[in-house]
Structure 1
Amino acid sequence: MSQNSHPRNWLIQGVLHIGRMLLPALFALTFAGVAHAQGTMDFSGAMTLMSTFKTFAMYAGAVICLGGLIFAGIRMMSGRFSEAVPGLFGALFGAGVLGWGAGWIGSLTGQSM
């Protein structure tokens, strides 16, 4: 009989295998009890931070949109309409940041626009 086929070795290997499978769950359950013991959390700082991000998205979108329009306008006035297209797409991107970006950030915190 080989050493690995001994019934006691199979039992030890089985127990070790079950222990390795259950260890992550036991670890998670240990900290789940601690997490339930916590009190309420104050998110006023997070709301202020998200409001700052929303304001930044609005200003950044406005600057990008205005820059794209100025770039496209200069190119169009000089008669190079094909070179004005990237500026128009830049203005469209800026408008997207201004509208959707600020709206999305505001929706995360329930702020009204």
Structure 2
Amino acid sequence: MQIKLKFDSRLANRWAERFSKQRVIHAARVLAPTLLVLSLTTAAHAQGTMDFSGAQTLMGTFKTFAMYAGAVICLGGLIFAGIRMMSGRFQDAIPGLFGALFGAGVLGWGAGWIGSLTGQSM
């Protein structure tokens, strides 16, 4: 058993005509560019209020880590090479010297590059 309910109202019919599918699609097409421009304008105004002090602090931490890591790598490579050289195996000391050179590169260029990303001075 189906119950059919018929609702006859002039006001409801008027609202149904006002919000037909074609009219809603047309309204969306007309309003879409305006909404896009308004959203971009809002983002442009918010751009000046962004706070990057946390990013500078984080990059300062990375710079400090690069300096310490470079120093540890350089010192470890020199100790490794020195022990090999004292035992008379000069060819085995070459990787340690390259390790010390790599550590010096991390210490100098790595920390300098990280510092240049945020405008920090060395």
Task: Answer whether TM exceeds 0.5 for this pair.
Answer: yes
The aligned residue for residue 55 of structure 2 is: 46
- Give the unaligned 5+ runs of structure 2: 1-35
Q: Which residue identity is paired with 1:110?
A: G
Of all paired residues, the percent bearing the same amino acid is 83
Instruction: Tell me how far apart the structure 2 counterparts of residues 31 and 83 of structure 1 sit (CA, whole Å).
Output: 64
Q: Which residue of 2 aligns with 1:111?
A: 120
- Counterpart of 1:35 in structure 2 is 43
Query: Which runs of 5 or more residues in structure 1 are unaligned?
Result: 1-27
How far the C-alpha of 1:32 sits from its partner, in A, is 3.3
Quote the RMSD (CA, aligned, Å).
Answer: 2.2
Residues 1:74 and 2:83 are matched in the alignment = yes
* Paired positions, count: 89
Distance 1:77 1:36, change over 3 A: same
Residue 87 of structure 1 deviates from its aligned partner by 0.2
For 1:9-51, what per-residue CA distance to the aligned partner results, in whole angstroms no more than 9, with x for missing partners? xxxxxxxxxxxxxxxxxxx868534422425111100000000
TM-superposed deviation, 1:104: 0.5
Give the greater-gyration-radius structure (CA).
Answer: 2
In 1, distance between residues paired with 2:37 and 2:85?
65
Q: Distance in 1 between matches of 2:109 and 2:61?
A: 16
